[in-house]
Structure 1
Amino acid sequence: MAVLIAYLRTCKGGGEERIGVEIQRAAVEDWARRRRHQLAAIVSEAPSAGGLEDRHGLAEALAALHQGLAQGLVVYRLDCLDSALVAQEQLLAEVRATGARVHSLQPDEAAELRRIPADPSRQGVREVLRAAAAIQPQMAALRSRRRRHSRPGAGSPPYGYRIADGSLVPEPAEQAALVRIAELRASGATLREIARELDSNGHKPKRGERWHPESVRRIVERLEPR
């Protein structure tokens, strides 16, 4: 038996239909009862909650995990955490950092969560997130030096990030583009081919409207291990 926190948020089911929190609540309670898990709390997100910064229910659930009040987080499906794969992986990493596990009621997702994912898309996301995490200490030192030598507001964050309250935070849309760049490069695509693919799929560069091979090269050099 495990002590878990249930997180409910309206999300899409397997197709286009949306699964409301009441349906999720009944399903989660039944799932926990059959597996003899204890639900320490059931937190649901307000329909008006949009981005991660507005998710008060999610913040409450993560705070409880950090305090050791539960051993895991259960969701109806991973899309209920967030529909963006990059955001999902960031949230999964956040939960794992507390020593807790994430459980999904969907059998395929549950199996995936029990092992290192074989899904190439998730592998690509994790590679990018690991690369981003590895460079954070250097970036923190660089930001500190920049503040001493630059006027306030000077400079711009690297692709994949934005400035919030004076710190670098991931920008989900740009993180998704980083994942795609890593996948294409791993498959042998040239810089020009990657630029065309990013343009055709609506991924925007930090500046301007179109990608250029030189911009792609700078990002590839940043992502590739040295």
Structure 2
Amino acid sequence: MGFPRSKRPNRTRAVGYIRVSTDQQADRGLSLSAQRAKVRAYAKLHDIELVDILVDAGLSATTLERPGLQRALQMLRRREADAILVVALDRLTRSVHDLGLLLKKAFRDGRGELLSVNESIDTRSAAGRLLIHIIGSVAEWESSRIGERTSAAMRELKTQGRYTGGITKFGFELGPDGQHLHPVPREQAIVARARELRALGLTMREIALRLEVEGARGRSGRPLREGQVQRIVREEAA
């Protein structure tokens, strides 16, 4: 149920968002009633119009797809509220990556304001905007760092001839252990021939036509298409 609207002009309208994932959180002062009380007290102290308090009870912060949170974000997009007010940032999410997404999509460039009681975050102020920019930059950096580590790990697996998921590239098949790749002689011969023709200066289309004439076939039993030939020629040998 919504709260009565204020007639006072230029007053920030905030939607409170509270969440608990387990009953044990009540023991740490994170019960729904405790969060609700803190949200109301903060709004009263800072003269904020609290238009509603949305709740996600018994839901983990491992995903942003929570009914209460999505409704709060929708209220920002529809200009039904100017800000989202939480007791702590971990009520929104515990993921650095997801926090970065939220900051980028919902709380930057005037899209909406973020107010957090415990962290003293108020993006209506210059200091608050600076702090949220720093937090967002750290989130982006962490996301990039994770991506770099993942890419490096995938490259290392490939150099070891390990399977990294998806369709095995032409010339190899997945071994009995489900981890290592083994060469397929027939396909390896086609790969070698395609690269040989490329070295002679033939285009991808010309290579595909030459392979078809020579009887080379893909895994489906059909002639290799130009795009398939391009991947075969350009992929590094495992």
Provide TM-score, normalisation by structure 2: 0.49
1:59 equivalenced with 2:53 (yes/no): no
Q: 1:94 to 1:213 in 2, by over 3 A?
A: same
What one-letter code is carried by the residue in structure 2 that aligns with 1:106?
A: N
Match of 1:8 among 18, 30, 37: 18
Match of 2:130 among 106, 116, 119: 116
Give the total of aligned pairs.
Answer: 141
Separation (CA, whole Å) in 2 of partners of 1:23 and 1:77: 12
Match of 2:90 among 79, 85, 89: 79
Match of 1:19 among 30, 50, 54: 30
- Identity percentage of aligned residues: 19
Output one character per residue of 1:165-224: Cα deviation in whole Å (capped at 9) or x when no partner: xxxxxxxxxx4xx33466xxxxxxxxxxxx5xxxxxxxxx48xxx925568xxxxxxxxx
Separation (CA, whole Å) in 1 of partners of 2:102 and 2:33: 23
TM superposition shift of 1:22: 1.2
Separation (CA, whole Å) in 2 of partners of 1:67 and 1:32: 21
TM superposition shift of 1:11: 6.7
TM superposition shift of 1:81: 0.3
Higher helix share: 1
**Partner residue, 1:179:** 145
TM superposition shift of 1:89: 1.7
The 8 Å contact of residues 77 and 109 in structure 1, kept in 2 or not, is answered as no
What one-letter code is carried by the residue in structure 2 that aligns with 1:115?
A: R
The 8 Å contact of residues 6 and 42 in structure 1, kept in 2 or not, is answered as yes
TM superposition shift of 1:53: 5.4
1:103 equivalenced with 2:115 (yes/no): yes
TM superposition shift of 1:116: 2.7
1:211 equivalenced with 2:225 (yes/no): no
RMSD over aligned Cα atoms: 3.6
Q: 1:113 to 1:70 in 2, by over 3 A?
A: farther
TM superposition shift of 1:107: 4.0
Separation (CA, whole Å) in 1 of partners of 2:147 and 2:54: 36
Match of 1:34 among 20, 32, 45: 45
TM superposition shift of 1:50: 5.8
Output one character per residue of 1:33-77: Cα deviation in whole Å (capped at 9) or x when no partner: 111111111001021456435400011111111111111111101
Alignment of structure 1 residues 156-167 onto 2, 5 Å: none
In structure 1, stretches of 5+ residues that fail to align are: 129-174, 183-194, 196-204, 216-226
What one-letter code is carried by the residue in structure 2 that aligns with 1:41?
A: D
The 8 Å contact of residues 31 and 105 in structure 1, kept in 2 or not, is answered as yes
Q: What is the DSSP-based 3-state SS (H/G/I as helix, E as strand, rest coil) of the residue aligned with 1:125?
A: helix
Separation (CA, whole Å) in 1 of partners of 2:132 and 2:80: 31
What one-letter code is carried by the residue in structure 2 that aligns with 1:211?
A: A
Larger radius of gyration: 2
Q: 1:38 to 1:106 in 2, by over 3 A?
A: same
Q: 1:120 to 1:20 in 2, by over 3 A?
A: same
In structure 2, stretches of 5+ residues that fail to align are: 1-10, 158-238
**Partner residue, 1:134:** none
